Structure 1
Amino acid sequence: MDDEPMWAADRVVALTLGSAITIPETANEFSIKGNHLTLVEGNQFDGRTKTDPHKHIHGFLKIYDMFKYIDTENEAVRLMMFPLSLTGEEKTWLDELNERTIKTWDELRTAFISRFFPPALFDRLL
């Protein structure tokens, strides 16, 4: 185990004080499988022009669905892992939301898409 890269080991994720995301108390701590963490962080949303937040959510869920976490609710795992799929200003956006404003996966998904789906792209779809 000492010879493995840091990203390969399972990691314990603890609740972050001041987070916009409220994690259910039933998920105080769990270990993220190292290869799961690598996949999520390898497919981060950076908000570049023409980057579709719907596709990012779809990709995140495809990666998420590859793994199962026993004794932890699916929604709690999604809420805890999604911030790892963001980088740069997009990560800052989530960090700067008011504390405990997001309580469900649907709220997080909706807030993310609302923030990063450009109105100009929406207008082109009409």
Structure 2
Amino acid sequence: MDDEPMWAADHVVAPTPGSAITIPETANEFAIKGNHLTLVKGNQFDGQTKTDPHKHIHEFLEICDMFKYRDTKNEAVRLMMFPLSLTREAKTWFDELNEETIETWDELQTTFISRFFPPSPFDRLLEEIRAFSQHENESLTDAWLRMKEML
């Protein structure tokens, strides 16, 4: 077992003392499947301005939904795994959150999105969508594709 690569072995995850996330008592410890950890670590969010937090959440949920842990609820798995999906600026932000301020997946998701996709860009995009019109000499297909990209 000691000769196994880190990604091949199952890893026990326990709540980190001082974490912003309060983990339900029913999920004190569980072993993360090695390939689950590899997938989460391979899809880390760094918090850079060009990265999309909505896309990160979507991809993170897709990864988490691929694995089931018999005695642990999906929400607890998500709460415990999400910090592992962060790196650089995003990890620093998470580590600086007040202790035990997040109790549910919805709270974590809302806090994360509000930090990395603040209202001002959202408001700007919403205005662009509301003012959308087909450009002169633009095909309907091109206009539709442009609209889909905005959405």
Q: Highest CA radius of gyration, 1 or 2?
A: 2
TM bracket, shorter-chain basis: over 0.9
TM, length-normalised to structure 2:
0.79
- In the TM superposition, what is the alpha-carbon distance from 1:98 to its structure 2 partner? 0.7
Post-superposition CA distance 1:56-115 (Å, at most 9, x none): 000000011110000001111100000000001211111111111000000000000000
Residue number in structure 1 paired with 2:11: 11
Cross-structure match for 1:68: 68
One-letter amino acid of the counterpart of residue 14, structure 1:
A
CA distance in 2, matches of 1:49, 1:101: 25
SS at match of 1:50: coil
- How far apart are 1:49 and its partner, in Å? 2.2
List runs of 5+ in structure 1 lacking aligned partners. Answer: none
* Superposition map of 1:1-126 within 5 A: 1-126=1-126
Aligned residue type for 1:47: G
Find the aligned partners of 2:120 and 2:38 in 1 and give their Cα distance. 33
- The answer to whether the 8 A contact 2:20-2:99 is kept is yes
User: For the Cα contact (< 8 Å) 2:48–2:89, is it kept in 1?
Assistant: no
| Aligned-partner SS, 1:31 | strand
Identity of aligned residues (%): 84
Higher relative contact order (CA 8 A, sep 6+): 1
Unmatched runs of 5 consecutive residues or more in structure 2:
127-151
Compare 29-38 and 89-98 and name the one that shifted more: 89-98
- SS where residue 12 of structure 1 aligns? strand
8 A Cα contact 2:39 2:63, kept in partner: yes
Counterpart Cα distance in 2 of 1:57 and 1:24: 21
Q: What TM-score do the two structures reach when normalised by structure 1? A: 0.94
